[in-house]
Structure 1
């Protein structure tokens, strides 16, 4: 049975769970979350965001059945999106032509971030066990680009971006080795750095002063590099660096502070320089519990139902728009034939929305 909104509603929750279990992800699964135009899920926080909301475009749920969706990368030549399902140790493939969702690679060495290089090849951060950055060649063979720095193993390569000169930049926090849910627990051997792989294969530690750097992206002119600091103080933050002609990063400046206890994660930049950021609760608890059914319960400082989605900031760091989702968005990518379809990897599911913006890269 094809997945349509009509038969999903008729199934009920038990039927839906059964339908998406097993190999149901190979079926078409578009679900429109809201029927009204404009979609109330797309919130304008500043008038400047109005031009990016398409009046007759709605948030669509394209696929589900993952445990933690991450690292989407779009391949325009073939018209498909790859994204990681980290705890299930696989990379998934959404074909936007056939509207199918299938396994691309399993096992995948607990892949996290993915990117397309300038020659159309897949770059992957394998963030546990192998703890390396790889390139998938056109014949399917895998080339290891980086797995050690100064003789010691990398921690857990997380997110990756490819600059126009072909250099590959990635973050190396601890998430893939600090437990056994998204890989295998292990002791770190490095500081949590941001690295650059040059065309000759040399690995350089470009940024060394961030605690667990996460998502990263360049401004449209590539003169600035933005990096999420997962352990920012007092909140998660995005820092801006000036990028020199020699590939160095300097003039560290805080651009965004998630003061609402939002969980800044992966993000992308559009051609106007706006930052489209995966968002959700950072899990911080209130200092004092409340009584619930006779039990003391510590609530979240930032509630998931208020924060889950995509927060859009202008180049000055001001929030201008919010796309509300029923699940926390970890990362996203611009895709579609015209680069204006926003794909959102969100906890268990993949969502999409056509917007009046195009990705910068």
Structure 2
């Protein structure tokens, strides 16, 4: 499959639409009140995706990259407001990450792999199998300590023809994996019901993973925390936070170590112990979020049809 529509404009340059202050915004802690207040406006940056996902801030490119899974394209939003396609079509790309040299790393549902692309060129499969079995449908991906890539591998992408291709799993587990770039070694780190979003604490010593089998009729709808040991294994798995409305889909961790997680009703903000600091109700169901911008103070939020943002004070 060749990319035939690279660079198609989806939104002209222009100011974002200001949706106004956020009714029902909850701030439970003075620490959060120092960076977010009740007058913070919610911004609409783009509208028209089918299933927005996988946001990542591209510092070198000064842009936000994110996926439209169902419409099979990777897009870029720029600070002047214009939006264009970067890869189109894709193999149902979901999560994205960026290597230090600018190479993009993608989780593909269609080819059931982790792929690489550079400068808008066709994405090429990179990680496809584990111990002889084809991966399920890689979902979310982050860079880890010591030149590693970590990703989740649930079955969502092989259960829905809108998000991939129907197939039977070749692996008897749904797992979190670690790929060590220098040694080209893939290691299975943990098994969950349906691992979904993941993020590291700023010091790299804690990994948070959302477990979301509720999305396909299962029971789990929580975030699990793991301790990352000195030899890069995971230990001390423990429940961290449970979402009652929907599922904790994508999540991100800021420089303070606070966890910002999506849910069916908005964004829940948690401290390192899992204590709720506040809650941002949203008019649309969010799928994922990340921080970016020149000073890393803008929270970008992907929803099915919308790309939203709000700016923190610090």
Structure-2 change in CA distance of 1:144 and 1:247 (3 Å): farther
Note the alpha carbon deviations across 1:124-179, whole angstroms, 9 max, x for none: 10122x11111223583645331100111100000001014220000000111102
Q: Which has the higher helix share?
A: 1
Report whether the alignment pairs 1:147 with 2:134: no
Structure-2 change in CA distance of 1:68 and 1:29 (3 Å): farther
Structure-2 change in CA distance of 1:235 and 1:78 (3 Å): same
Note the alpha carbon deviations across 1:240-299, whole angstroms, 9 max, x for none: 1111122210111111112x333210100011111001111xxxxxxxxxxxxxxxxxxx
Q: Distance in 2 between matches of 1:117 and 1:181?
A: 29
What residue number does 1:224 align with?
A: 206
Asked if 1 retains the 8 angstrom alpha-carbon contact of 2:222 and 2:247, the reply is no
User: How far did residue 23 of structure 1 move?
Assistant: 6.3
Report which of the two structures shows the higher radius of gyration computed on alpha carbons.
1
Task: Give the root-mean-square deviation of aligned CA atoms.
Answer: 2.0
User: How far did residue 76 of structure 1 move?
Assistant: 1.3
Normalising by structure 1, we get a TM-score of 0.79
Selected match of 1:163 from 144, 160, 169? 144
Aligned residues: 302
Q: Distance in 2 between matches of 1:236 and 1:248?
A: 24
Structure-2 change in CA distance of 1:23 and 1:141 (3 Å): closer
Report whether the alignment pairs 1:201 with 2:184: yes
Normalising by structure 2, we get a TM-score of 0.90
Asked if 2 retains the 8 angstrom alpha-carbon contact of 1:29 and 1:63, the reply is no
Note the alpha carbon deviations across 1:76-116, whole angstroms, 9 max, x for none: 122111111011011111111x2101111111110000112
Structure 1 outlier segments of 4+, above 6 Å: none
Q: Distance in 2 between matches of 1:319 and 1:212?
A: 24
Q: Which aligned pairs between 1:319-330 and structure 2 lie closer than 5 A? A: 319-330=276-287
The DSSP-based 3-state class of the residue aligned with 1:48 is helix
Asked if 2 retains the 8 angstrom alpha-carbon contact of 1:118 and 1:162, the reply is no
Q: Distance in 2 between matches of 1:180 and 1:86?
A: 11
List gaps (5 residues or longer) in structure 2.
Answer: 1-7
Q: Distance in 2 between matches of 1:202 and 1:242?
A: 21
The DSSP-based 3-state class of the residue aligned with 2:274 is coil
User: How far did residue 42 of structure 1 move?
Assistant: 3.7
What residue number does 2:227 align with?
A: 242
